[in-house]
């Protein structure tokens, strides 16, 4: 009966839909999101994150300014001291900067997630029939764009200064792909920090504390042979060193060495540990 | 065919440390009803609503929505409800259309269906001109309407509205009320919390009054108001007037006990009908009782509370500066 009534007070063009049928709605419900639904929810969340990136271009500062500035700065300041001249330092330096920028970029993932979680819209996400991983994984998928920009710009800046990667186009593309995957995997650590920390500032502080030793106590900027023994021992097991070495092997020689394997193994371990931890801790916020 | 209740909750409990925020509340809401949960800030309204909406775990008791158990099948429940809170929960960085697209797609609607639904809802809520503006430029009322539109995109059969008009100006408030009535015309069931008696009165078929985590009364708005009289006659007696005589007179004319503020000569008389105000005043004139001012006011939530609980709304747990504000609103 209510399907045919058009209230005279309704504004022109108001469409009357068939009445809502609760019994049918109950029959349509499902106990949980299927895998396909979950993937689609993650992609919708990624779409949201991309929209936000486009509206807040200052979010791109870290992935644009840092690679450009650091590449030039490190090359000209340390080039002579470490390798005799700038050109011969570049094959050592550029993969190091790639690793460093990608790591800094994934730190931003955690900070932004924390900021996002404090906004009202997250209240709605919680009340929606959406897989709990979607609000976390969505922004991370969108961040792939940022890793791509960061890694791509570093190589581009290197090329401008005079870097001629021996691995050719394929080698460099391989190095970029590896850097992106690593960044994405490690971002789960920072996502987890984002879900446990009290506020965005804490996330930033905690992340810095993890990042600085990891990037600087690695072979990113200097040859390991120049370090004292105890430090060299740490640097050799530091996962960032594996990433840097793997990136060098790919970009400079186009060879897939065991370093690539170690890097991928580390990444998988990080995902297996921190993705479930993040989802668990995010649930607790409900 | 028997219809399942939209909400069937028994003995809901939620504690925060020492505070029993919800202390054994039963609610039964039939399909197609607008059910009002009335109470002051801190009474436990929002907590109860959040438990029903799967946003807070149910500590004790049981709740079913259209027969589905809330604690056991939260994902199913989330497909049956829409919830609009006191604070607009839409994405500030997106436009109105993008927000609706986001929430529709997240819930598995097809792209074309979301677009059609978004267009229909924006028109229905008078937001079509702002469809492509970022929310940051929206007024409070527009945000609230968009928020409600976002809850409706999948046409859920049950809508929770948590203080839908708190902080809105009177005109926007009236629009919101119309919208809520339209929801029910579409076949929705609505559970709304409010601290305004007149809002519950305007909208709800039945009202539960909540105080300190407990339900202190339930009934139709008329039943509820009858418990305090429909309105109140406030009289300021002249300093030399005989308050005792005035009291006797009021009792005789109205059959109700007036509330006298000792020392100030102020008297509040509960009235079943507004006509009785004239009878009381004529009685005062005939008895020679002088008065300084007169005012007829609708019952405030405070008075309903006083009648139901024996204490004012302002001495409830963790209550607040808002008390003055809602007393003003209701008058």
Query: Does residue A17 sit in helix, strand or coil?
Result: coil
B189: chain A residues, CB-CB within 8 Å: 22
Q: Which residues of A touch B54 (CB under 8 A)?
A: 127
Domains and CATH numbers, chain B: 7-225 (3.40.50.300), 229-330 (3.30.70.980)
CB contact under 8 A, B106 and A128: yes
CB-nearest to B78 from A37, A127, A134 is A127
Whether chain A has a CB inside 8 Å of the CB on B129: the answer is no
Name which of B94, B123, B187 is nearest A51 (Cβ-Cβ): B94
Task: Measure the CA–CA gap between A194 and A212, rounded to whole angstroms.
Answer: 18
Rounded to an integer, what distance in angstroms lies between the CA atom of residue A119 and that of residue A123? 8
Give me the sheet containing B259-261, strands edge to edge. Answer: B259-261, B266-271, B231-237, B291-297
Task: Choose among A65, A63, A254: nearest CA to A166.
Answer: A254
Q: Which residues of B touch A31 (CB under 8 A)?
A: 73, 75-76
Q: Where are the domains of chain A?
A: 34-284
Q: Per-residue confidence of chain B (331 residues) as pLDDT tens digits?
A: 467 899 999 999 999 888 889 999 999 999 999 999 998 888 899 999 999 999 889 999 999 999 999 999 999 999 999 999 877 788 988 999 999 999 999 999 999 999 999 999 999 888 989 999 888 888 888 888 899 999 999 999 999 999 988 888 888 888 889 889 988 998 999 999 998 888 888 899 999 999 889 998 898 888 877 776 667 888 998 888 888 888 888 988 888 888 888 778 888 888 877 788 889 999 999 988 888 999 887 766 667 777 777 666 554 433 333 333 333 333 3
Of B67, B78, B123, the CB nearest to A13: B123
Residues 73-132, chain A, touching B (beta carbon < 8 A): 119-130
Find, in chain B, the residue whose alpha carbon is nearest to that of A29: B76
Query: Are B177 and B146 in contact, with CB atoms under 8 Å apart?
Result: no
In chain B, residues with a C-beta closer than 8 Å to the C-beta of A52 are 93-94
**pLDDT tens by residue, A135-148:** 999 999 999 998 99
> Residue B4: closest CA among chain A residues belongs to which residue?
A23
CB contact under 8 A, A21 and B66: no
Positive or negative: CA dihedral B65, B70, B72, B74: positive
* Closest-CA distance of chain A to residue B82, Å: 8
Which of A11, A31, A41 is the closest to B73 by Cβ? A31
A26 and B66 within 8 Å at the Cβ level: the answer is: yes
Using the Cβ of B174 and the Cβ atoms of chain A, whether some distance falls under 8 Å is answered with no
Residues 6+ apart with CB under 8 A from A235: A217, A218, A219, A224, A227, A241
DSSP-derived pairing of the beta strands B68-69 and B214-219:
unpaired
Whether A29 and B79 have beta carbons less than 8 Å apart is answered as yes
Per CB-CB distance under 8 Å, the chain A contacts of B98 are: 51
Record: contact B88-A120, CB cut-off 8 A = yes
ipTM of the complex: 0.81
Q: Tens of pLDDT along A181-235?
A: 999 999 999 999 999 988 888 888 888 888 888 888 888 888 888 888 899 998 8
């Amino acid at each position: 009966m209510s399907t045919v009534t058009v209230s005279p007070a309704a504004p022109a063009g108001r469409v009357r839909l068939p009445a809502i049928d609760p019994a049918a709605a109950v029959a349509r419900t499902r106990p949980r999101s299927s895998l396909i639904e979950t993937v689609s929810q993650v992609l919708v969340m990624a779409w949201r994150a991309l929209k936000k990136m486009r509206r807040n271009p200052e979010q791109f500062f870290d992935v644009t300014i840092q690679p450009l500035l650091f590449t030039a700065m490190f090359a000209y300041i340390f080039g002579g001291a470490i390798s005799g001249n700038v050109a011969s330092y570049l094959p050592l330096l550029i993969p190091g900067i790639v690793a460093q920028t990608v790591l800094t970029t994934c730190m931003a993932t955690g900070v932004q997630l924390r900021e996002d979680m404090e906004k009202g819209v997250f209240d709605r996400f919680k009340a929606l029939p959406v897989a709990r991983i979607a609000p976390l994984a969505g922004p991370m998928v969108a961040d792939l764009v940022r890793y791509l920009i960061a890694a791509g710009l570093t190589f581009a800046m290197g090329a401008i200064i005079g870097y001629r990667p021996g691995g050719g186009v394929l080698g460099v593309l391989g190095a970029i792909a590896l850097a992106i995957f690593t960044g994405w995997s490690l971002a789960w650590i920072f996502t987890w920090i984002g879900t446990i920390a009290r506020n965005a500032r804490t996330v930033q502080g905690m992340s810095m504390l993890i990042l600085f030793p990891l990037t600087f106590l690695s072979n990113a900027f200097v040859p390991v042979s120049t370090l004292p023994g105890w430090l060299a021992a740490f640097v050799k097991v530091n996962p960032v060193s594996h990433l840097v070495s793997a990136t060098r092997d790919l970009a400079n020689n186009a060879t897939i060495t065991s370093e690539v394997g170690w890097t991928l193994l580390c990444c998988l371990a990080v995902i297996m540990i921190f993705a479930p931890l993040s989802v668990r801790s995010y649930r607790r916020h409900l | 065919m028997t219809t399942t209740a939209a909400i069937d909750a028994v003995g809901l409990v939620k504690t925060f440390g020492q505070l029993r925020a919800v202390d054994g509340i039963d609610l039964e809401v039939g399909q197609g009803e607008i059910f009002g949960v009335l109470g002051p800030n801190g009474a436990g309204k929002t907590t109860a609503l959040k438990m029903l909406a799967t946003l807070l775990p149910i500590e004790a008791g049981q709740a079913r929505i259209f027969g589905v158990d809330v604690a056991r099948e939260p994902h199913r429940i989330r497909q049956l409800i829409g919830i609009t809170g006191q604070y607009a929960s839409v994405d500030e960085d997106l436009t109105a259309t993008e927000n609706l697209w986001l929430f529709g797609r997240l819930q598995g609607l097809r792209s074309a269906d979301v677009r059609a639904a978004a267009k229909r809802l924006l028109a229905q809520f008078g937001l079509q001109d702002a469809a492509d503006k970022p929310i940051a430029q929206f007024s409070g009322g527009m945000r609230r309407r968009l928020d409600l539109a976002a809850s409706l995109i999948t046409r859920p059969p049950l809508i929770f509205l948590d203080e839908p008009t708190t902080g809105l100006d009177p005109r926007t408030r009236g629009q919101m009320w119309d919208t809520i009535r339209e929801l029910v015309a579409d076949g929705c069931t609505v559970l709304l919390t409010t601290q305004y008696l007149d809002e519950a009165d305007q909208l709800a078929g039945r009202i539960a009054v909540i105080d300190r985590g407990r339900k202190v009364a339930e009934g139709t708005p008329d039943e509820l108001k009858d418990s305090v009289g429909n309105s109140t006659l406030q009289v300021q007696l002249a300093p030399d007037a005989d308050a005792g005589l005035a009291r006797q007179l009021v009792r005789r004319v109205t059959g109700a006990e007036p509330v006298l503020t000792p020392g100030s000569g102020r008297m509040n008389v509960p009235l079943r009908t507004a006509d009785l105000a004239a009878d009381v005043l004529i009685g005062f004139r005939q008895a020679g009782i002088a008065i300084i001012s007169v005012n007829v006011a609708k019952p405030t939530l405070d008075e309903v509370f006083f009648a139901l609980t024996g204490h004012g709304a302002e001495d409830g747990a963790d209550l607040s500066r808002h008390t003055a504000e809602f007393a003003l609103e209701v008058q």
